[in-house]
Structure 1
C-alpha cells in the first residue's frame, strides 16, 4: 500500500474538537468558528451579522455549516441570504462537517466551514 501525505495549501485543516472548542491548524478556538480561505476567526453563530459569511461569495463554492453535536436545520432567513449571494450551503453535524471539510480541502476545493461547538 502506498501512503501519500495530504497537503492543504494555505487553508488549515480541522485537527480536533471537543466540548466548546476546535483545534484548527495547531491553534485552539473556543466557541463557534469560521474557517476557510480567509483564515480562521470567531463566528457569532446564527445570531451574528451574516456579513462574514456573505463576504465568501465568489471565493468559495460551498459553505459547510456545522450545527453542533446533532444535525439540524439552519435558520431559513440565513440560508436564503447565503443562497441569494450565490453560496452553496450544506448543513450537517459539526463532526461530520469537520471531516467533510478536511477531505474536500485536501482535494483543493473552494470551501469554507462555519461550525457551532459540540
Structure 2
C-alpha cells in the first residue's frame, strides 16, 4: 500500500506576509489569481473597496470548481452581485483572510482539485 501522496504540478504558495505572497518561491507584490492549472493572473486591486464585479468575472472564465477568495488582512465578503457569474457556472466561492486562503489553496491544489486563489494583497504604504 502506498502511503506517500502523489506529487502535484500545481503551483504552491510558499510564503506570505503583509502586501506579498510567494508562489513557488517567486515573490509577488500585487493582488493575484493563482490557479492550480499553473496560471498567475494579476488582479488589479489594492483594497477591498476597489473590487468590482469585473474582478470576479475574470475568475468565472477559468476552468475551476472552487475559488478561495483571500479578502486581505480580515474577512470581508464579496457582494452577491460580484459572485453571480461564478454561481451561474456552479463555481463555489469560499471567503477567508488572505493568509488562510493561501493555506487552503495549497491543500486543495495538492489534492488535485481545480481551484483558484484570488488573493487580495492590500497596499502596505
Stretches of structure 1 that go unaligned for 5 or more consecutive residues are: none
Which runs of no fewer than 5 residues in structure 2 stay unpaired? 46-50
Cα distance in 1 for partners of 2:43, 2:78 equals 15
- RMSD (Å) for aligned C-alpha atoms: 2.0
What TM-score, normalized to structure 2?
0.79
TM-score, scaled to structure 1: 0.83
In 1: Cα distance, 2:102 partner to 2:20 partner:
13
Alignment of 1:10-49 (within 5 A): 11-36=10-35, 37-45=37-45, 46-47=51-52, 49=54
Offset at residue 109 of structure 1 (A): 1.0
Q: Which residue of 2 aligns with 1:76?
A: 80
Count of residue correspondences: 113
Question: Would you identify which runs of 4 or more consecutive aligned residues in structure 1 move more than 3 Å?
Answer: 3-6
